[in-house]
Structure formats: C-alpha cells, structure tokens
Amino acid sequence: MAQILFFYFGGMTVLSAIVAVATPHLIYSALSLLVTFIHIAGLYILLHAEFIAAIQIIIYAGAILVLYLFVLMLFHSKQEPRYLHRQLPVGIFLGLVLLGMMVLAAFRSEILGQIGTMNDKLGHTKAIGMALYTDFVFPFEMASLILLVAMFGAILLAGRTVRRKSDGSA
C-alpha cells in the first residue's frame, strides 16, 4: 500500500513539476506548482514526518503560492514569450548535474539508514513543541516580537497613507 502511495505521490510530484515548467500560462504554472507542493507533503507523511507535511502545506501551498498568484495577477501578462526554450539544453544539463550530485551525496553520506534518538511514542509534533516551549522558548518568543515589528513595517511602508492634520499647534 505504502509502495503504491509512494509511486503515486512521487509520480504526481514529477509530472506536475514538469507541467509547472513547461506550460506557457503563468497561472496554470502556479497552480500545478500547488499540486507539486501538496504531493510533496504526501511524501513527508509517508516518511512519518507529519509536522513537516503540515508546515509544507501551510507555508508553501498556503502562504507562498498565494503570494505568487497575487504577483502573477498584477503582471497582466497574456503569454510569456518562450525565450527560455533556447536555453533548454543548458537547463537540462545543469539539472542533471544537480541530480547527480544529490544522488552522490545521498549514497556517500551516513544519512541513509541512520536512525536518530527520537522517541517514537512522543510524535514529532509533540517533540518539536516540547523543544520550542522549553529549551528554545526565548528565541521563539523573540520571533513573535519580530513578526509584530514586521507587521508594522508592512503597514507603515506599503499601507495606504492617511494624512493626519499635523498637531503642530500643540
């Protein structure tokens, strides 16, 4: 069963990634990227990494892709000229080199077949939560303050300006 699911998720990831690169319509491209992300999340679940799967869907499929779509809709582009296709051989070559390096690294390193000290009964999400709220609570809370400041920044720098009457008389 897991084997079938793996081939389904893996195959769909590859197929939709090819569509994302090959289709001339930018919106279709972005949408097939969404399919890719969701199927990668499926692969994570098969690996029992449910937390990363959830993060994958929330951050990539949710936040980043919506951002892409917004940007694309602002572009008003009908069809991009296929200028990239002249560089297709170069792209394929570089892709193969990267793939080869990844395969090489994967077989050379000790990552394959290594089993960590994670307590399986606890579950990943719970383990990450425990670490975040005990050992790493200080940087974690700090990150929330950074988000607050970043939110101000977005509003101050890009929000609509409401001109206040200057209270210079005071």
Q: Which residues, 49 to 78, sit near other proteins by CB under 8 A? A: none
Task: Rule CB under 8 A: say whether 21 interacts with other proteins.
Answer: no
Spell 57-76 as b/e; 16+ CB within 10 A means b: beebbeeebeebbeeeeeee
* Cα–Cα distance, 29 to 16 (Å, whole number): 9
Q: What is the dihedral of CA 18, 23, 25, 31, to 10 degrees?
A: -30
Angstrom CA distances, 51 to 46, 82, 145, 168, stand at 12, 39, 23, 54
* 143 touches other proteins (CB under 8 A): yes
- 106: contact with other proteins by CB under 8 A: no
For the window 151-170, what string marks contact with other proteins as x by the rule CB under 8 A?
Answer: -xx--xx---xxxx-xxx-x
The single residue listed with the structure tokens 């960590």 is: 116
Residue 21 or residue 155: which is nearer to other proteins going by CB? 155
Report the nearest approach of other proteins to the CB of residue 132 (Å): 12
| Nearest to other proteins of 3, 169 (CB atom) | 169
CB atoms < 10 A from the CB of 40, how many?
21
Residue 76 or 163 with smaller CB distance to other proteins: 163
Instruction: Point out which span in 58-66, 71-79, 96-104, 140-148 binds other proteins (CB under 8 A).
Output: 140-148
Answer yes or no: are the C-beta atoms of 48 and 76 closer than 8 Å: no
Q: Which residues are near other proteins by CB under 8 A?
A: 135-139, 142-143, 145-146, 148-150, 152-153, 156-157, 161-164, 166-168, 170
